Chain A
Amino acid sequence: MSRGSNAGFDRHITIFSPEGRLYQVEYAFKAISQNGVTSVGVCGKDSVAVVTQKKIPEKLLDSSTVTNMFKLTPRIGCVMTGHSADSRSQVHRARVEAGEWKYKFGYDITADVLCRRLADISQVYTQNAEMRPLGCCMIMVSVDPQQVPVLYKCDPAGYYCGFRAIAVGAKQTEANNYLEKKLKKKPDLTEDRTVQVKSTIWHCQQMSLSSITVKKTTTIVLNGPWSNSTPSQSSGLKDKVKGLLLEEWVVAVALGKELWVLFYTAF
């Protein structure tokens, strides 16, 4: 099978090809889009939101046990796109890192540091022959009392960066293009606007003939007062969102000063 300018072994493990490429890492990126899911994250000036798709492959499956959104620390959450087993492995590692940091230093790790740590770990996988890169991509969201809300993405190449808005997955090109246009017009997103990430998802559905058919979509409107809600009001929030939410979407919203991760699952 080995043709071209290489002897073929650089496709099996992570060593450079003669052109200076790492084929295995490139293939890891393709693995992220394999299951056809797209995730979108948008960061505003006082809140950050991520939305992802949930695939329910069988009717017998208990959909409430399926999720690809995870909480890493009280202030940091993430959405994983790609292989679900690799995703869980990365989430577990992230939680371990966060726990060790808290133990060593006595305060919670911040999102940028955690993301850098995971990116460093992913980089090792692109060098070690014994470990393959993970076929998943993490979008991390966080709010911190002393800092603005942040949105980070960490990919199998070990590259990480903060974003104002990002899409990952099967339809990422189309979604990123749409997000660029959207952010050009309104560069400073307030809370209710961050949740207009739904329009990006809807646009992607219209644009593509993807394997999921979503019959309708709804506006998720979250207004100002909820940013200061106490946990007792969270059930009210859930009901409101439930009434509006589209089947198959799981939404996590970081509001105000605390991270609330709403695992709303529509089935």
Chain B
Amino acid sequence: MATFFGEVLSVFSRAVEDEDGEELVEDEEDEQIRRELEEKREVHLHWNSEVSESLQSGNKLQCSDFILAVGHNAASFLSVYVLTSSSWETVGHVSVWNERTKASTGQSSKESACVFHRNKDDPSVLICQVFCYIADDQLFQWTEKVFACLQHRGLNVTVLSDCSVTDYMTADHLCTSSAPFLRSLHTGVFSGRTACPSLEQPNIITGLSASVLNHCQVYRIAAVVYQCYSDVNGPDSVSMETFKPALAKLGKSIQLDSSPSTDVLRKSVQTTDIKSNLYI
């Protein structure tokens, strides 16, 4: 099937004979497993005491800039270039479990998979790093719960995310030789200029970035997503550097470390677990 944009999708016939089949009668054991898994897959937000007190008394987090980094390169970019200075404190984390979140050598505990940081000098800037994979059924929960804690007025959201250049569709095949590169998408109320060209059709953004962008568009929050298309699968320092122009606009509130320490860089590009039994 060819879509409006000219891409060819393989779709599967849903021609079914609608017989009067029985509904699945699950036995108790299956139900119990399903319930346990559903409970485990719930997304939970944990804030530090100061923030949770303020939230409980009904005040949302006063935030003018929310920066979300989805994916290893984006999140490590923030770790290496922004969070090395001492003016950032951890204010909370999200615990999210799905079948793909196995404890890898990089992350020692669940807390480090999805963390919130706030600038002590300028508490209106909030950073969130998401290292872990968030499953399709958890995206909505994550977005709703996080944005329920932030006040929407005057909020600017910047999302940094990774993608593989093999997913990038373009008529000009030579442009992929310039990988890694940035592309952006923003909501209707976003008024600034983006640091890179807009994402061309028929490419789309998926996952947590899409969920957040969607939420912001619906609730009329100014948001922009910067997607980095990288030719290397896995953490890579050159791809991380590509994000620099995205945060340059926020220069007042976010100081980018011009010469990151090699130790931090090395730790962040350590190979994550390889999902196959090839090396058993």
Contact = CB atoms under 8 A, between A and B. Distances in A.
A186 interface: yes
Contact of A26 (B10, B25, B179, B276): B276
Contact of B277 (A157, A208, A244): A157
A55 B12 contact: yes
B238 A3 contact: yes
B136 interface: yes
Given A4-B232, A26-B274, A159 B29 contact: no
Interface string B181-195: 000000000000000
A5 B24 CA distance: 52
A61 B12 CA distance: 11
Contacts of A177: 37, 99
Contacts of B11: 57, 211
Interface residues of B, number: 42
B22 A25 contact: no
Given A216-B23, A247-B16, A173 B99 contact: yes
A247 B13 contact: no
Contacts, number: 101
B36 interface: yes
B22 A219 contact: yes
B229 to A, nearest CB: 12
A92 interface: no
Interface in B1-40: 10-18, 21-27, 29-30, 33-34, 36-37
Interface in B260-280: 271, 274-280
A29 B278 contact: yes
B22 A22 contact: no
A19 B232 CA distance: 14
Interface string B27-59: 101100110110000000000000000000000
A159 B278 contact: yes
Given A3-B232, A29-B276, A247-B16, A181 B36 contact: yes
A58 interface: yes
Interface string A13-52: 0000001011001100100000000000000000000000
Interface of B: 10-18, 21-27, 29-30, 33-34, 36-37, 99-100, 135-137, 176-177, 179, 231-232, 236, 238, 271, 274-280
9 contacts: A26-B278, A29-B275, A55-B12, A57-B13, A157-B277, A159-B280, A174-B99, A207-B37, A211-B11
Given A212-B12, A219-B24, 16 more contacts: A1-B176, A1-B231, A3-B232, A26-B274, A29-B276, A56-B13, A57-B13, A58-B13, A157-B276, A159-B280, A173-B99, A174-B99, A178-B33, A203-B30, A215-B18, A218-B24
